[in-house]
Amino acid sequence: MTTASIRDAVAAALKEHKPSGPVCYKTAGLRCPASNLTGVAFRFGVLAAVRSLDRGQFVGVMVTASHNPSCDNGIKLIDPDGGMLKTAWEPLIAEFMECSESDGSHWIAGHMRDPESRFDSLN
């Protein structure tokens, strides 16, 4: 697959699975109504894949709701050591969540292609 065809496939998937409203990622992760979780979870999966490929390590995605009302869910990314991501990731996650489908695919390509990406300062 060429970079352009991957970008097109990602853009199509991001268009189909987008958050239904603004999201705010904090240290404890992201909380949203369960009905909004599909688009958010898809984008979290993409971010986990980008982070994993960038670091060459496994990254986790955790869905949590044990302390929330039953209509709410939480979701967060987990680093390879099992800990939370550094707080410097919070604005980066929000930026990606709010990207349009075409901007999102370019955002991914830019971060994966650039060895001096902003990920380097977030490790």
d(CA 110, CA 123): 18
Alpha-carbon Rg for the chain in angstroms: 14
Q: How many CA atoms lie within 13 A of 89 on its CB side?
A: 23
**Catalytic residue at 70?**
no
Catalytic-role residue among 35, 66, 70, 121 = 66
- Phi, psi (5° rounding) for residue 81? -85, 0
Residue 93 has a CB neighbour count (10 Å cut-off) of 21
Active-site residue list = 66
